[in-house]
């Protein structure tokens, strides 16, 4: 892969009208990436979960906008993405996950635009045979996302 | 050689624009472009060490040799999630 996940930066078929990207790539690991201005429907996502008989672990994570940032009350966070590059970088991360862990499925939704306090801005689910792999892969994906995927936030006080 | 530059996040406020274009001699690198931009946009110069640079959808280092029509993006450290 051209981009080294460790050495580089230091630091489609639309379903919803406002989705910037929603799609899967034909690989062994099922992957679904959604970058959208729409609120994240956690209940709907859980309802669409699909696991084969050999899978025993589904870990999901929701990142929610806190009411304070740096000890100041806030109203919301506005997320901005470089959409085309964000999509590409997410898929590089998914490629790497597929090499590292026996993952059946990964689903990730990142909201952009203004997200109010208490609302989720990120939702990730990883399905594997055992819990250790799911926890490790989910945490790795979020850590790497925060390092390489071009999404920024602006506090709305 | 002419390249376009897109700024993201607060780099748009530092430069006062979302996009710009620059003309450079052939054989120029991203580092050369960054120096040229620092002259044109002095507020960007202070951010040089933390600036991330991409060409198209790939991150590139300062030694990357620019080509005619390259789409360069400059932005601060990412903050998703």
Decide the pairing of beta strands B71-75 and A30-36.
Answer: unpaired
- Of A11, A23, A6, whose CA–CA distance to A83 is shortest? A23
Please tell me which residue of chain A has the smallest CA distance to B56: A85
In terms of C-beta density within 10 A (0-12 exposed, 13-18 middle, 19 or more buried), how is residue A153 classed? buried
pLDDT for position A92: 98
Find all residues with CB under 8 Å of B1, minimum gap 6, and list them. Answer: B23, B24, B25, B26, B28, B66, B67, B68
In terms of C-beta density within 10 A (0-12 exposed, 13-18 middle, 19 or more buried), how is residue A5 classed? middle
User: Between A88, A110, A154, which is nearest B80 by CB?
Assistant: A110
pLDDT for position A40: 98
User: Between A10, A80, A147, which is nearest B9 by CB?
Assistant: A80
Does A20 score more than 60 pLDDT?
no
A75 part of a folded domain: yes
DSSP assignment letter at B18: S
Rounded CA separation A84/A81 (Å): 9
Please tell me which residue of chain B has the smallest CA distance to A66: B81
| Domain span including residue A37 | 17-156
Please answer yes or no on whether B78 and A148 come within 8 Å at the CB atom: yes
Count other C-beta atoms under 10 Å from residue B66's C-beta.
Answer: 23
- Of B25, B20, B18, whose CA–CA distance to B5 is shortest? B20
A5 part of a folded domain: no
Rounded CA separation B72/B60 (Å): 10
pLDDT for position B45: 92
A104 part of a folded domain: yes
A59 part of a folded domain: yes
Span B24-44, pLDDT tens digits: 999 999 999 999 999 999 999
> Given pLDDT bands bounded at 50, 70 and 90, which one contains residue A26?
very low
Give this complex's ipTM: 0.95
Dihedrals phi, psi of B18, to nearest 5 degrees: -95, -25
pLDDT for position A10: 45
A49 part of a folded domain: yes
Half-sphere exposure of A127 (CA within 13 A, CB side): 20
> Given pLDDT bands bounded at 50, 70 and 90, which one contains residue A24?
very low
The whole-number average pLDDT for the span B67-81 is 96
Instruction: From chain A, pick out residues whose CB is under 8 angstroms from the CB of B76.
Output: 152
A12 part of a folded domain: no
Q: Which of A4, A5, A9 to mutate to test the interface with B (most CBs of B within 10 A)?
A: A9
Task: Please tell me the pTM assigned to this model.
Answer: 0.87
DSSP assignment letter at B34: H
User: Between A2, A63, A122, which is nearest B58 by CB?
Assistant: A2
We report the CATH number of the domain holding residue A126 as 3.90.1170.40
Please tell me which residue of chain A has the smallest CA distance to B6: A82
Does A143 score more than 80 pLDDT?
yes
Please tell me which residue of chain A has the smallest CA distance to B58: A3
Count other C-beta atoms under 10 Å from residue B39's C-beta.
Answer: 9
Count structural domains, chain A.
1
The whole-number average pLDDT for the span B58-72 is 97
Please answer yes or no on whether B79 and A151 come within 8 Å at the CB atom: yes
């Amino acid at each position: 892969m051209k981009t080294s996940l460790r050495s580089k930066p230091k630091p489609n078929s639309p379903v919803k009208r406002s989705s910037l990207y929603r799609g899967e790539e034909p690989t062994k690991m099922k992957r679904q990436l959604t970058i959208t201005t729409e609120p994240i429907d956690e209940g709907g996502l859980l309802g669409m979960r699909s696991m084969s008989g050999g899978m025993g672990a589904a870990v999901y994570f929701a990142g929610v906008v806190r009411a304070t940032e740096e000890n100041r009350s806030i109203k919301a966070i506005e997320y901005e993405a470089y959409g085309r590059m964000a999509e590409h970088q997410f898929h590089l991360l998914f490629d790497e996950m597929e090499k590292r862990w026996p993952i059946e499925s990964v689903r990730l939704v990142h909201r952009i635009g203004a997200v109010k306090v208490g609302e989720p801005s990120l939702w990730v689910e990883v399905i594997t045979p055992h819990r250790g792999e799911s926890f490790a892969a989910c945490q790795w994906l979020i850590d790497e996302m925060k390092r390489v995927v071009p999404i920024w936030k602006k506090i709305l006080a | 050689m002419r390249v376009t530059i897109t700024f993201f996040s607060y780099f748009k406020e530092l430069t006062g624009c979302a996009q710009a274009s620059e003309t450079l001699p052939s054989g120029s690198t991203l580092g050369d472009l960054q120096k040229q931009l620092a002259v044109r946009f002095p507020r960007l110069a202070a951010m040089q060490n933390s600036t991330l640079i991409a060409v198209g959808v790939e991150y590139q280092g300062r030694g990357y040799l620019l080509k005619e029509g390259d789409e360069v993006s400059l932005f601060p450290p990412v903050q998703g999630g």
